[in-house]
């Protein structure tokens, strides 16, 4: 068993043999079906501190990365089109994406920020021997200087930020990123009705209108794509995946993200 999956983790402990998060999801889904709309989590530090130690082993052993690499490939493809010497990930988790960036662009300076100690501890292990700058911090107040990196990116992170804080968080991403921003995030206006309904009860997932928000913040969106643009490519990718998927929830597919590329505009 992977060591990050052992121990008395509040996220994975059980009640009569059933993981706590499954019970919580059942109760939330039932409340939603009855017409009750639970508020989105204002702050997810506790959620990710509970889950952080467990997450790397979960996705590595559950067959997630063989599927999720499709979006990582899109990120690398887009980075190849940009002129940059440094990049960082906002919400870097255990370092899966920034390790790939470093491997593909070995002369680049890479970094990441995350507020989960467990995630960062695993990132240091996962990227052992690689030059990187990892920092503990909140995406709403990043511990990096202005224009610290040419490119800032995220993959499924800002959908965990409450609507009251999203402009602040995007403003921080703009501040730290000197040239470009690339994000793969959830926008319920550009997904399938099925996924929109499946995610509606989840208090940790928040949809944001990224194109509208960046326009409001005076930024220039240079590329915006949805599952309708890369869905066929995703299906072709999935036909080549031959590993088992072992998580209890289904992999959501191309419709889980939009891709947005921003050319950063400074005052």
Q: How far does Cα 166 stand from its chain's mean position? A: 14
Say how far apart CA 200 and CA 179 lie, in whole Å: 34
Which residues, in sequence order, are CB contacts of 46 under 8 Å at separation 6+?
A: none
Say how far apart CA 200 and CA 29 lie, in whole Å: 9
pLDDT for 3 beyond 60: no
At 20 the pLDDT is 63
The pTM for the full model equals: 0.88
What's the CATH number of domain 3-263, 1.10.10.10, 3.40.50.150, 3.40.30.10, 3.90.1110.10?
3.40.50.150
DSSP state of 182: E
Per residue in 69-95, pLDDT (tens digit) is: 999 999 999 999 998 999 999 999 999
Per residue in 17-51, pLDDT (tens digit) is: 656 666 666 666 676 676 777 777 777 777 676 66
As a whole number of Å, the end-to-end CA separation of the chain is 51
Q: Would you call 237 exposed, middle or buried from its count of C-beta atoms within 10 A (0-12, 13-18, 19+)?
A: middle
- Mean pLDDT value across residues 108-126: 94
């Amino acid at each position: 068993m992977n060591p990050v999956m052992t121990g008395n983790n509040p996220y994975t402990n059980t009640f009569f043999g059933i993981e706590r998060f499954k019970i919580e999801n059942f109760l939330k889904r039932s409340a939603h079906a009855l017409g009750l709309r639970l508020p989105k989590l204002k702050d997810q530090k506790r959620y990710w501190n509970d889950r952080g130690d467990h997450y790397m082993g979960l996705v590595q052993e559950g067959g997630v990365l063989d599927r999720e690499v499709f979006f990582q490939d899109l990120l690398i493809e887009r980075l190849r089109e940009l002129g940059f010497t440094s990049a960082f990930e906002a919400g870097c988790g255990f370092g899966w994406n920034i390790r790939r960036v470093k491997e593909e662009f070995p002369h680049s300076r890479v970094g990441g920020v995350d507020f989960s100690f467990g995630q960062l501890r695993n990132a240091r292990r996962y990227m052992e021997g690689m030059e990187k700058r990892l920092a503990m911090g909140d995406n709403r107040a990043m511990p990096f200087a202005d224009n610290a990196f040419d490119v800032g990116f995220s993959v499924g992170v800002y959908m965990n930020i409450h609507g009251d804080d999203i402009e602040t968080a995007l403003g921080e991403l703009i501040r730290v990123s000197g040239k470009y921003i690339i994000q793969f995030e959830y926008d319920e206006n550009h997904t399938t009705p099925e996924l929109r309904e499946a995610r509606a009860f989840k208090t940790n997932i928040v949809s944001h209108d990224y194109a509208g928000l960046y326009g409001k913040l005076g930024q220039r969106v240079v590329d915006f794509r949805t599952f309708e643009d890369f869905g066929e490519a995703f299906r072709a990718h999935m036909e080549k995946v031959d590993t088992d998927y072992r998580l209890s929830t289904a992999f959501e597919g191309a419709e889980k993200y939009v891709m947005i590329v921003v050319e950063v505009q400074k005052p």
